[in-house]
Amino acid sequence: MTKKPADSKAMRSRIVGSKPPAETARAKLRSTTPDAVSVSLTVNGARHAQAIDPRTTLLDLLREHLDLTGTKKGCDHGQCGACTVLVDGRRINSCLTFAAMYDGAQITTVEGLAKDGALHPVQKAFIDHDAFQCGYCTPGQICSAVGLMAEGRARTADEIRELMSGNICRCGAYTNIIAAIQQAMERS
C-alpha cells in the first residue's frame, strides 16, 4: 500500500500552530493597523474627502490618493524640499506631515498655481531663466519660491539663497533659480 503524500499546509499547521505563518502574519497586521480617519481638504481649489490610514503623509495622499504627481518624493526625510507644497499659503515639506493634521486646510501644489491657463509668475520666470535641468526638484522649488514671496522676508539674492536653502537642486541650477525668483519678485 502506497502512502499518500501529506498535505504541506496541514503538515505546516501541525508543526507551527493552528494557522500557516502567512495567515498569522496577515491577521497580526490587520489587528495592528489603525482605523481609517476621515480627512477633508481643499486641494488646488477642489474639495476632497478621503478615508485614510492616519499614518498617511500629505505627500502620499496627494500622489497616491489624488493622483497629483507634480509633488515629488525625493528623500522622504524632509531634507531635499522636492515635496514642498503650500498649506494655507505657508510652505511645508509634505513628506514630514500627516495628512490628517490638515483636515479643512487649503493645499496648493504646483498643479494649482496656474490660473485660467496663465502660468504663475514664478513658473513663467523659471522658464524664462531656464531654472531647471532634470526638473525633478522644480515643483518643490517653485512652490517654495511662491511661499517665500508671500512671506515677504527676502529682498536680496543672499536672502533668497538662505530662505530657499531647504530646497536642493542636484543638477546645480541655483544661479538660474535665484534669477527666476528675483524676476518674479520684481514683477509682483
Which helix (H) or strand (E) is 48 found in, with range?
strand 46-52
**What's the pTM?**
0.82
The per-residue pLDDT for range 92-149, each reduced to its tens digit, is: 999 999 999 999 999 999 999 999 999 999 999 999 999 999 999 999 999 999 999 9
Class of domain 37-112: alpha beta
pLDDT at residue 188, rounded to an integer: 84
Question: What's domain 121-187's architecture?
Answer: Orthogonal Bundle (1.10)
DSSP 126: H
* Cα distance between residue 19 and residue 6, in whole Å: 16
pLDDT per residue as tens digits for the range 144-160: 999 999 999 999 999 99
Over 70: is that where the pLDDT of 2 sits?
Answer: no
Q: Where are the domains of the chain?
A: 37-112, 121-187
Own/partner contacts of 165-168, CB < 8 Å, gap of 24 or more, are: 166/81, 166/84, 166/93, 167/80, 167/81, 167/82, 167/84, 167/137, 167/140, 167/141, 168/74, 168/79, 168/80, 168/81, 168/82, 168/137
The predicted structure's pLDDT at residue 34: 81
The CA-CA-CA angle for residues 58, 95, 31, to 5°, reads: 70
Alpha helices in the chain (DSSP H): 8-16, 21-32, 58-60, 121-128, 138-151, 157-163, 174-187
